[in-house]
Amino acid sequence: MKRLPYYLGALLSLHLLAQGALAERIKDLANIEGVRPNQLVGYGVVVGLDGSGDSSSLTSQSLVTMLSQLGVQLPAGTNLSAKNAAPVSVTATLPAFAKPGQIIDVTVSSLGSSKSLRGGTLLLSPLKGADGQVYAMAQGNILLGGAGASANGSSAQVNQLNAGRIPAGATVERAVVTPLGQGEFINLELTTTDFTTADRMVDAINRSVGAGAAKAIDGRLIQVRAPSDSSRRVAFISQIENLTVSPATASPKVIVNARTGSIVMNQSVTVDHCAVAHGNLSVVIGTDNSVSQPNALSSGQTAANANSNVSINSDKGQLLSLPKATRLSDVVKALNAVGATPQDLLSILQAMKAAGALRADLEII
């Protein structure tokens, strides 16, 4: 039996370790078709507020309708102006396979002019799905993630006070049928379309289950033959989703948030050798306010004068030569050498992309 030279064996071991380090479970790369959450939405009234409610006609109408449903009949045209109540929207997510009696969390958000929902209690509110059916009922005390105080016209606030959560605030009343595949097949849907990852996933499933068990329909959908018995199908899916696959290397991408100036790039981004010049242009406006006072016993009047000085400053941009960078750390160093702010980097990246120096997809959100 021939043995590999030491250095070749070491390289092979490192290669296998690298593959193992990059391997991910199928359950982290794909979802089972049909196994998905559903969004719920509803309308409700929050009471018990400390004067921070909404006294609009919407609140009054909601209170009158609620009281009539509880057997309290008010005279026609009654206007309930209550600063301790507020109309709110109630949202929740119904997880897959949720059964009646299961508890889920809800989010409550003010609809009107209420400044704060602190200390409020949501009254019983139905939550409906896209089909108009009621799937859960929500009620409970609201927890806020913010804080605020005010006194003598001064106020301070941390985070939002007009939206909060009710942990375990809703009870599921109706189940959504979630079929685990149709007929003898189940479908795996990749979270990101990639033909290479789909091909590797098919190979991993066929090696574990048997040849011909899985086939790729396209770059996102994989069809797998599964047992028809429900208990065996659950065990089969558990076996499949715990198989490991080495996903394909992600395409180079740079995502820029133009509103906040945040820039995120993945490790595949590269930069070719190029030259970049960046300069700053600033406009400074200074105003000197003075008062013109007339002499004593004169008929003149006191007048305010405003003298404004406008200047434009232009910093000379130095032409910098950026070397070719194939690693993310080198790309970051090259861009930092320009000395531009994150907001300025957007225009620089766009120019580099247009010149073909930036090897990545530039996405602006």
State which amino acid sits at residue 344.
D
pLDDT, one tens digit per residue, over 28-48 is 999 998 888 999 999 999 998
Distance CA 161, CA 117 (A): 6
Give pLDDT, residue 317: 57
Whole-number pLDDT of residue 273: 79
Instruction: Look at residue 239 in the predicted model and tell me its pLDDT.
Output: 93
**What distance in Å separates the CA atoms of residue 352 and residue 345, rounded to the nearest whole number?**
10
**pTM of the entire predicted model:** 0.66
- What is residue 21's predicted lDDT score, i.e. its pLDDT? 43
Kindly report the CATH class assigned to 179-245. alpha beta
Query: Please, which residues bridge with residue 286 across strands?
Result: 309
Q: How far apart are the C-alpha atoms of 278 and 269, rounded to whole Å?
A: 21
Tell me what pLDDT residue 182 has.
66
Which residue is associated with the tokens 């490192």? 14
Closest CA to 33 of 251, 137, 145, 187: 187
- Say how far apart CA 286 and CA 265 lie, in whole Å: 40
The maximal CA–CA distance of the chain, rounded, in angstroms, is 120
Domain boundaries, the chain: 38-148+156-172, 179-245, 253-290+305-364
- Report yes or no: 108 and 90 within 8 Å, Cβ to Cβ: yes
Which residues of the chain, if any, have pLDDT below 50?
A: 1-21, 281
Residue 314, pLDDT score: 54
pLDDT in the model for residue 134: 96
Q: How high is the pLDDT of residue 4? A: 43
Closest CA to 201 of 250, 240, 249: 240
In angstroms and rounded to an integer, the radius of gyration of the C-alpha atoms of the chain is: 32
